[in-house]
Amino acid sequence: MKLIKYTLLLLITTSILSEVSAQKYSNEFLAIGIGARARGMGNAAVASTNSVFAGYWNPAALGALDIEAPQFGAMHTEQFAGVAKFDYLGAVLPLANKDRKFGFSVIRFGIDDIPNTLSLFEADGTINYDNIVPFSSADYAFIGSYAQKINTKKGNLFVGGNAKVIYRQIGPFASSWGFGLDASALYFGKKWRFGLVVKDATNTFNAWSFNLSEAQKNVLSLSGNDLPINSVEKTKPQIALGVARPFKLNDNWNLLAEMDWIATTDGKRNTLISADPISLDLAVGFEFDFKDLVFLRLGVNNFQKESNFDTTDFLTIQPNLGIGLKLRQFKIDYAFTDVGEQRNQTYSHVISLILNLKRN
């Protein structure tokens, strides 16, 4: 059983090494989604995001936060039976001008304690488990956000942007540094809210470098893997347009509904509307709140076409559920959501926390 386990981990590791130069789905860990509120709403959050997590979803929305002191946010989730861990820490700070905000976010998606099986076999073909040394494969994003309000006659307009640094590391074998910019806007009308985000507006470039010994290169070649070379990976722009509207149901209950359209520009994807080079996906979310204290959420996203045995296609969707509770300056949110392909049904528990500090 140990040999099977280590062999599978070897295949996973070498497949990662051989695919890092791919242009499509670059920096895809940043497309998973941050915060249990948004995840419970099917990642429909571009127009309605209303906390420190806006630094990820729509940085312009930070300017709309009604805060007089810093707000902090954190998220943790484990995926694929706890193999992968996804974490977030963030803060938003009001500036001297109350219409301006600054935010900072740190995101990590990683798999730890991966056995390095490239040296599992000795020169004579025998297995030596003492040669196995664990390593981590992790992706990091460091995001600085800025937002401000623009005075208009008919509504409230906010603009913002992100500057982000990406660091990705695969143990001692490979690492990359990248840089990119996001731009966004948020408009509040009398009833409707509109959000627009252009991620990687200038393209995000990751420069990869590799450090493999000759023995490790031989193992990769003998196992049928391509040898990676130093390269530059480009993440193309993604555009998201969100429309949201709140409804007052009665004296106690309110409803907020949002629909987002997400356009990717890196080629044909398995989405609701699939084309080359632009594909369109849809996310729809609903949030019910009881006196702004208890929140119930549901959403659908990840529209994909699957094939039957007779080659006919059918459409699948991903359902998501979530709840939230506000306790004075704390807000705790939970979501039950899928992060993988529909066929795998890899549902995970997402927990996030928001802390509002008060000015003395």
Q: Model confidence over 305-357: pLDDT tens digits?
A: 888 777 788 888 999 999 999 998 999 999 999 765 445 557 789 999 999 99
Residue pLDDT, tens place only, 63-114: 999 998 999 999 999 877 778 899 999 999 999 888 899 999 999 999 888 8
CATH classification at residue 337: 2.40.160.40
* 289 neighbors 30 (Cβ within 8 angstroms): no
Structural domains counted in the chain: 1
Per the prediction, the chain carries an average pLDDT of 86
Confidence of residue 216 (pLDDT cuts 50, 70, 90): low
Question: Are the CB atoms for 62 and 54 separated by under 8 Å?
Answer: yes
Rounded average pLDDT over 281-306:
94
Q: Over 216-281, what HEC string results?
A: HHHHHHHCCCCCCCCEEEEECCEEEEEEEEEEECCCCEEEEEEEEEEEECCCCCCCCECCCCCEEE
Average pLDDT (4-30) is 53
The residues, any chain, with a CB within 8 Å of residue 271's CB and separated by 6 or more, are 264, 279, 280, 281, 303, 304
pLDDT cut 70: percent of the chain above it:
88
Q: How far apart are CA 252 and CA 245, in angstroms?
A: 18
Q: How many CA atoms lie within 13 A of 139 on its CB side?
A: 18
* Residue 24 clears pLDDT 70, i.e. is over it: no
Q: What is the pLDDT of residue 339?
A: 62
d(CA 203, CA 43): 22
Q: Which long-range contacts (CB under 8 A, 24 or more apart) does 339-345 make?
A: 339/32, 339/77, 339/79, 339/86, 340/79, 340/80, 341/304, 342/302, 342/304, 342/306, 342/316, 342/318, 343/306
pLDDT at 151 over 90: no
The yes-or-no verdict on residue 10 having pLDDT over 50 is no
CB-based contact 174:228 (threshold 8 Å): yes
Instruction: Pick the more confident residue, 263 or 341.
Output: 263
Average pLDDT score over residue span 252-280: 93
HSE-CB for 4 with a 13 A CA cutoff: 1
Residue 8 has pLDDT above 70, yes or no: no
Rounded CA separation 340/87 (Å): 17
pLDDT at 232 over 90: no
User: Does the CA dihedral 286-289-293-295 come out positive or negative?
Assistant: negative
Domain that holds residue 165: 2-356
Rounded distance, CA 312 to CA 317, Å? 17
Question: What are the tokens at 229?
Answer: 């070379």
Residue pair 271/263 in contact (Cβ under 8 Å)? The answer is no
Q: Please check whether residue 340 is in contact with residue 80, taking contact to mean a CB–CB distance below 8 angstroms.
A: yes
Mean pLDDT of 212-230: 72
